[in-house]
Structure formats: structure tokens, C-alpha cells
């Protein structure tokens, strides 16, 4: 057991990792299956050479999906019943405006949970197709001379999964130390904490997919650099790169083919996650405005607030910003690697413009820019501030 954990969760980048590209995804797959976000059972092949995951039809994987959605609906109903009784004593729901924001946030959160699980069930086979296509792209490349696989393992199994655990612990600590009655703690845990962790798990799933595609692009860029060095040194073919080809020109063509397949996979990932990400961002924006408005009520209007109340509201505001940061960082990471390959392809094409037609990096950037657009945090904060000012004006009028 210890050797298995060390194999997957060692925080150190090592050479000659025994894991294949898809085996790195296995711990996250277990987590996704446990919370119902990967409704299909799959079987991972062992070893570096056997890289394809096999589909295994298993109704058991649908149980967490049905269980979590049912629990969410039950606690949503109970939460609404509790609000109708104790809203006047709650500093966040003591007036009509804050109560409306609170209830709207509950409704949107419930809707996002349903969208996430419907999308997961709808794309359960697309996930497998995407994973196998990424594995196929990796198999078409030779073994990387760098530590790309080991670095990817550390990023996914240590940083991504570790961040999820830290977020869950912080959420529970803040909720359970608030001093509310037990029933209210249960309401908040199941109505807000659970849906928030489901959203962050979806973001971790998407971010991991982006990291895997980025690793493939890094490997492509590495091979392109080796082709360029081979031309400079000897002007000969690049058989030592590891691809079974006749010349560096054929190498370049094949690498461009793998690059095109990787970008197709990126479009498939966008299509598979488009709906949940859109609703997550919408819910996050409303929660950002609502939580900031609640913080204003605590500090300016409420007379019996505590330090814990301020910390709790600031925590939820930061949580919404983290979601936007994750998507923005994933987009920037992929764009940076794609741009780097575009420049390398353009540099290599100068070797034989009459032999091979290669698009410039500017053309490649324009093609992929439609799939990489995410609102910046600066624009988000500016928009949220405008809505917050409007809500404050309503408070002043009252």
C-alpha cells in the first residue's frame, strides 16, 4: 500500500517514471467516481506500452450521482423551510434584499449541481474518447528526454488533489466554528459546502485535462527543438529523436499531425465542459456580488457582528475569485505552450519553405484564440463592483 501511494503521490519529480500518461489520471478518476462525476467504469492498463483505457459498464457508478443529487434536493427544501422561520434573526437574511440574494444563490447553486451531473452523464463516453485520444497522441511521440510525465504526476496528484483537500478542510473548519445551531450547520454544509466542492472537483477535472494536453504539446515542442538542432549540427535526418521516419521533413509533418490532433482534443474538452463551466462562472459571479453585499451588511449595518462573520464572508468572496483564476490560468498555460509550438513550427518552416507549407505562429494563435477566451479577474471585479454599488443604493433608499 505504501509503495503504491509513493508511486502516485510522491512530491518529487523523478526520472524514468513507470506510470503512463493515463495512469496518472487514475487517482482523480477514483475521486470523480466517488462523487458521481465519472458515471462510467473504466479499466486502466498496466505498463507504459498498454495505454488505452477500457470501458466497463457498471450501474454502481451511477449510485453516487443519484445519491448526491437527491441529498442536495432534500437539503434545499429543508433550508428553505428554515429560512422561512429564522430569517429575521440571521444577519444575512434580515432584510428583503439580502434574503432575496440568499435565496437566489441557493436556487442557482442547486441548478448548477443538476447541470453538472446531467452533463457528466451525457458526456460519460466522451470522457473515455478524450482520454484515449490523448494517450494515442502521446504514443505517437517518442519517449520524452525530460521529466514531463513525472512533472505531470506531481501537478495532478499532489497539487490539484492536494488543493481540493485543503479547500474542503478550510470550508468545514469555517462552517463548524461559526457557533450556529447544529441544524443550521447541516444546512450550510449540504446546501453550500457540498455544491462548492462539486464545482471545484469539476474545475480540477477540467484543469487536469488541460495539463495533460499541455504535456503533449511540451513533448511536441521538445521534438521540434531536437529536429532544429539536428539540422544545425549535421543537416541529416533526426532518427535519433525516436520517431521511425526517413527525414527531418517527414518528422516535422508527423509532429504537425500530432499537434493538430492535440488541438482537436482541446476542442473536445471544451465541448464536454462548456455547459458546466458556463453555469459555474454565472453562479460564482452572483455569489461574489451576494457575498460582498453580505460583507457590507455585516460591517456597516449589523451591530452585533463578530470577527468570524467577517472572515467567513471574505472566505466565500475569495473562493469565487479562485474559480475564475483556475480557468484563466488553465487558458494562459495552454495558450503559452501552443504559441511556443507555433513559433517553433514557423522557425522550422524557414528551413524549406518550398518543400513544406507551415503556418506562422500568428495564424496558429488566431485559430486557437476562440477556444482560449476567459474573462479576466480585473473585468470580473469591475463588473461585480458595479452591481454591488446598485445593491448598496437600494439599501440606502430603504
DSSP string over 15-70: SS-S--TTGGGHHHHHHHHHTTS--SEEEPPPTTT----EEE--GGGHHHHHHHHH
d(CA 127, CA 37) in angstroms, rounded, equals: 11
d(CA 191, CA 186) in angstroms, rounded, equals: 8
Question: Considering the domain boundaries, does residue 382 fall inside one?
Answer: yes
d(CA 13, CA 11) in angstroms, rounded, equals: 7
- State in Å, rounded, how far the first CA of the chain is from the last one: 62
For residue 3, what pLDDT is reported?
Answer: 72
For residue 190, what pLDDT is reported?
Answer: 92
For residue 359, what pLDDT is reported?
Answer: 44
Supply the pTM of this predicted model: 0.84
Question: Considering the domain boundaries, does residue 12 fall inside one?
Answer: no
Question: Considering the domain boundaries, does residue 4 fall inside one?
Answer: no
Question: Considering the domain boundaries, does residue 1 fall inside one?
Answer: no
Q: What residues make up the domain containing 124?
A: 17-397
For residue 22, what pLDDT is reported?
Answer: 87
Domains identified in the chain, total number: 1
Question: Considering the domain boundaries, does residue 293 fall inside one?
Answer: yes
Cβ pair 108, 280 in contact under 8 A: no
Q: Grid coordinates representing 23?
A: 495512469
Cβ pair 216, 141 in contact under 8 A: yes
Question: Considering the domain boundaries, does residue 143 fall inside one?
Answer: yes
Low-confidence ranges of the chain (pLDDT < 50): 233-246, 351-374
Question: Considering the domain boundaries, does residue 8 fall inside one?
Answer: no
Question: Considering the domain boundaries, does residue 6 fall inside one?
Answer: no
Q: Is 267 left (phi over 0), alpha (psi -120 to 50) or beta?
A: alpha
For residue 231, what pLDDT is reported?
Answer: 55
Residue 101 is inside which H or E element, if any?
A: helix 96-122
Amino acid at each position: 500500500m505504501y509503495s503504491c501511494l509513493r508511486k502516485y503521490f510522491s512530491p518529487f519529480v523523478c526520472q524514468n517514471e513507470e506510470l503512463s500518461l493515463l495512469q496518472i489520471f487514475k487517482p482523480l478518476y477514483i475521486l470523480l467516481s466517488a462523487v458521481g462525476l465519472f458515471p462510467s467504469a473504466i479499466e486502466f492498463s498496466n505498463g507504459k506500452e498498454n495505454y488505452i483505457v477500457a470501458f466497463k459498464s457498471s450501474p454502481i457508478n451511477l449510485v453516487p450521482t443519484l445519491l448526491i443529487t437527491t441529498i442536495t434536493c432534500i437539503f434545499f427544501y429543508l433550508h428553505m423551510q428554515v429560512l422561512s422561520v429564522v430569517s429575521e434573526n440571521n444577519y444575512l437574511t434580515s432584510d428583503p434584499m439580502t434574503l432575496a440574494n440568499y435565496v437566489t444563490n441557493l436556487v442557482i447553486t442547486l441548478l448548477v449541481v443538476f447541470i453538472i451531473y446531467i452533463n457528466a452523464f451525457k458526456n460519460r463516453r466522451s470522457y473515455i474518447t478524450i482520454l484515449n485520444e490523448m494517450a494515442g497522441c502521446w504514443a505517437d511521440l517518442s519517449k520524452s528526454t525530460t521529466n514531463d510525465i513525472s512533472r505531470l504526476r506531481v501537478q495532478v496528484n499532489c497539487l490539484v488533489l492536494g488543493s481540493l483537500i485543503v479547500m474542503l478542510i478550510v470550508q468545514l473548519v469555517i462552517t463548524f466554528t461559526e457557533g450556529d445551531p447544529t441544524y443550521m450547520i447541516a444546512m450550510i454544509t449540504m446546501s453550500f459546502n457540498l455544491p462548492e466542492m462539486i464545482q471545484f472537483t469539476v474545475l480540477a477535472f477540467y484543469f487536469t485535462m488541460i495539463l495533460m494536453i499541455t504535456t503533449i504539446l511540451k513533448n511536441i515542442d521538445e521534438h521540434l527543438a531536437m529536429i532544429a538542432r539536428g539540422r544545425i549540427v549535421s543537416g541529416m535526418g533526426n532518427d535519433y529523436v525516436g520517431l521511425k521516419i526517413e527525414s527531418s521533413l517527414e518528422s516535422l509533418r508527423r509532429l504537425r499531425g500530432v499537434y493538430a490532433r492535440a488541438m482537436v482534443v482541446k476542442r473536445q474538452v471544451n465541448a464536454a465542459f462548456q455547459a458546466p463551466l458556463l453555469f459555474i462562472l454565472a453562479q460564482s459571479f452572483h455569489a461574489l456580488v451576494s457575498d460582498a453585499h453580505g460583507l457590507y451588511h455585516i460591517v456597516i449595518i449589523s451591530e452585533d457582528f463578530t470577527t468570524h462573520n467577517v472572515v467567513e464572508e471574505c472566505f466565500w468572496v475569495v473562493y469565487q475569485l479562485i474559480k475564475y483564476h483556475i480557468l484563466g490560468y488553465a487558458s494562459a498555460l495552454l495558450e503559452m505552450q501552443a504559441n511556443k509550438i507555433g513559433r517553433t513550427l514557423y522557425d522550422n518552416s524557414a528551413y524549406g519553405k518550398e518543400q513544406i507549407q507551415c503556418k506562422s505562429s500568428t495564424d496558429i494563435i488566431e485559430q486557437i484564440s476562440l477556444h482560449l477566451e476567459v474573462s479576466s479577474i480585473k473585468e470580473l471585479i469591475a463588473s461585480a463592483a458595479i452591481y454591488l454599488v446598485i445593491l448598496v443604493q437600494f439599501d440606502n433608499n430603504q
